[in-house]
Chains A and B, each alone.
Chain A
């Protein structure tokens, strides 16, 4: 934990101390910025779970160093999750089966994740990057709305895509990694949202922080305190910036409001309104997550409701529209029973027929190669002819 604090938060701490010193008229502290090791937030939590689960008697220590390294440095999920807790995977490290049918299922799952990332998230990323490059002050209200909608889907398909790829790769190697997303945008409240979004983080926080603090077993005041604390730390875990802390506090506040009255009201409104309102609340929160600057975040919120349409409007091309349609369908698909059944059959099969394995493999190959083509051609944009545009 000390290493995480140092590498991830030392720069943030010193920057804020220096801001305070400067405002008081003192000299700043001199400091060389620390480089952030990739994935440190994820594998730190994994190593913590090893120590805590053994301490709690929930699992036995590994006898061999290479098994411990396998747990810590498992490459599919090491830098971007899902966060795998030791007690969930302890027996799999030392003895696991690697059935051939699960390897094929793993390949299929991997290809779905790859498609989510390359064919959906990356398209939205193109638009959101353009918004940032233009500058929030230069965009119209319409572009601001399209931008935050695009980011809302981008972050979901990007993150869940990585999780799918990690789970798929794990399955190929005989590991059953925990699910990390469960159609979070179908949630009817923020409480439900956090049971469906980044599930491994929220359960880690629940089991290693919230419950040891007392959870909801003590007074209402302490429950609310625990919720805010856990979500402030969740926000801070995401990044060493005030905007992430604010985002965490924002969600913590809505969890408290859920307990007070909000969840009951949303339940009375009915499924679709509750889903839409929750989606809206989450989307507004993403503004601060995306822009990484509190002041800019508030400015963006004002822009969303200012009906400013005389500035620069980014073009919305056919591919973006198509991707929005696909994203909405795939995000909300499991609102229906039919969607749930399809998801169950595709992602969590109890038993596929041989024909299904063939189809899944072919699908995986087509997706894999098409995504490879997209990744390698996204920068491919040649001139027809070499032209010399100088010498006037």
Chain B
């Protein structure tokens, strides 16, 4: 009788130990995949050569670590323990500010000025931008710079105490030069700060890296108005239907939190889901075609079909590297196309960057286009 008890218990232990393997083979439990930018490990192909030089074993180890059964659940459990017991976060460059405000460190560097690239580099880039603007103006095309707000600049009071602010930042310098040279420039960073707490919903989420869906909506609306005035054209308005607060915040408003891959949600203030639509315009009304060169701040608007509805199905060059929506079908990169030809297909070019990415503002687009026209 006693022996039977031990056998059953051993059987249970063995079954539980084998369960990840069972899960890997059968996929019996649906597990939510992990979030964040995760480089997928390839399953290695065996050869005597790569076995002898140990590359096979190392790659297999990396592959198995990423692909064993229930791996996302294990990662979440481990991350949750690390966070709950020790306050450790397992996402690169992410840290807690005061009162559980989440930041990516580069946004703090942007506001403290520790990523300042120097006056001469900024002056040089703005000079080239001015020249490009003049050239494009002569071709009846416009170039517009939008400085999106950064989490650090919007919530400077919540950044950890150990960071000290310097007087010079890339954002301040660039803004000075943009205004001085009277370029087409939207300082959304300033607008967001000036309207903090004054709008009907939060403009920035507590645990997200980008503006909130509501903030993004206001930005899109403002951009439409600006382009209408700049290009003297009537564009489809973005109509706000409703704001709805639900149990789960909009996914984009918790992107940093999601990337932490925890078991339990963090306590943070609510942000609403935004329901809106583009009004239909008379099909004969003049339209503009627009190219957007931007960082991840434009993704929300792009997915809301801003480029499709407002910019005549124009392209989105993500970090001036990958071309969307074409890349959904087949990877196409900016370096594979003729820059001059592509730019001149458009009526307006929008460069949208947040302060954290100003050290690499436009990711070479300005320099490359300047070379096309002037060198």
Contact = CB atoms under 8 A, between A and B. Distances in A.
Contacts of B75: 373, 376-377, 380
Contact of A383 (B77, B85, B93, B365): B93
Interface in A376-392: 376-377, 379-392
A36 interface: no
Given A317-B88, A370-B81, A373-B77, A382 B363 contact: no
Contact of B17 (A365, A381, A385, A386): A365
A203 interface: no
Interface string B265-280: 0000000000000000
Given A380-B75, A384-B255, A391-B363, A319 B86 contact: yes
B136 interface: no
A267 B82 CA distance: 43
Specify which of A357, A370, A388 lies most central, judged by the most chain B CB atoms within 10 Å of its CB: A388
B10 interface: yes
Interface in B52-106: 65, 68, 71, 74-75, 77-79, 81-82, 85-88, 90-94, 104
A101 interface: yes
A31 interface: no
A66 to B, nearest CB: 26
Contact of B9 (A317, A319, A358, A390): A358
B6 A101 contact: yes
Contacts of A391: 319-321, 360, 362-365, 367
Interface in A77-111: 99-101, 103-104, 107
Given A377-B78, A384-B37, A319 B85 contact: yes
Nearest to B89: A381
How many chain A residues sit at the interface, stated as a range, is 35 or more
A383 B38 CA distance: 7
Contacts of A22: none
Interface in B300-341: 319-321
B350 interface: no
B259 interface: yes
A361 interface: yes
B82 A383 contact: no
A104 B78 contact: no
Given A374-B78, A380-B90, A100 B209 contact: no
A390 B74 contact: no
B360 A386 contact: no
Q: Is chain B's interface secondary structure helix, strand, loop, or mixed overall?
A: helix
B9 to A, nearest CB: 6
B46 to A, nearest CB: 22
Contacts of A385: 36-37, 209, 255, 296
B245 interface: no
A373 B296 CA distance: 31
A364 interface: yes
Interface string B150-170: 000000000000000000000
B48 interface: no
B359 interface: yes
Interface string B1-18: 011011101101100110
A322 interface: yes
Given A361-B9, A364-B13, A387-B319, A322 B85 contact: yes
A354 B5 contact: yes
Nearest to A357: B9
Nearest to B65: A376
B49 interface: no
Contacts of A369: 74, 77
A225 B87 CA distance: 54
Nearest to A102: B6
A383 B7 CA distance: 46
Nearest to A368: B17
Contacts of B362: 391
Interface string B334-375: 000000000000000000000001011011110100000000
A372 interface: yes
A379 B64 CA distance: 13
A318 B81 CA distance: 13
A376 B363 contact: no
Given A373-B74, A377-B90, A386 B13 contact: no
How many chain B residues sit at the interface, stated as a range, is 35 or more
B68 A376 contact: yes
Contacts, number: 127
B84 to A, nearest CB: 11
A386 B12 CA distance: 43
A318 B87 contact: yes
Interface in B10-52: 10, 12-13, 16-17, 34, 36-39
Given A365-B17, A368-B17, A392-B359, A382 B259 contact: yes
A384 B77 contact: no
A100 B6 contact: yes
A388 B9 contact: no
B12 A361 contact: yes
A392 B13 contact: no
A379 to B, nearest CB: 7
A384 B94 contact: yes
A365 B15 CA distance: 11
Contacts of B10: 100, 103-104
B117 interface: yes
B209 A373 contact: no
A370 B75 CA distance: 10
B121 interface: yes
A317 B82 CA distance: 12
B37 A107 contact: no
B63 to A, nearest CB: 12
B92 A381 contact: yes
Contacts of B320: 388, 391
A385 B39 CA distance: 11
A390 B91 contact: no
A384 B36 contact: yes
B132 interface: no
Given A383-B36, A384-B256, A365 B16 contact: yes
- Closest 6 CB pairs between A and B? A391-B364, A100-B6, A391-B363, A373-B74, A373-B78, A382-B36
17 contacts: A100-B7, A100-B9, A104-B10, A318-B87, A361-B9, A372-B74, A373-B77, A373-B78, A376-B68, A376-B75, A382-B36, A382-B38, A382-B91, A384-B256, A385-B296, A390-B363, A391-B320
Given A104-B10, A370-B78, A377-B78, 20 more contacts: A100-B6, A100-B10, A104-B9, A107-B13, A369-B74, A370-B77, A373-B75, A373-B77, A376-B71, A380-B75, A380-B90, A382-B38, A383-B93, A385-B255, A385-B296, A387-B296, A390-B364, A391-B320, A391-B362, A391-B365
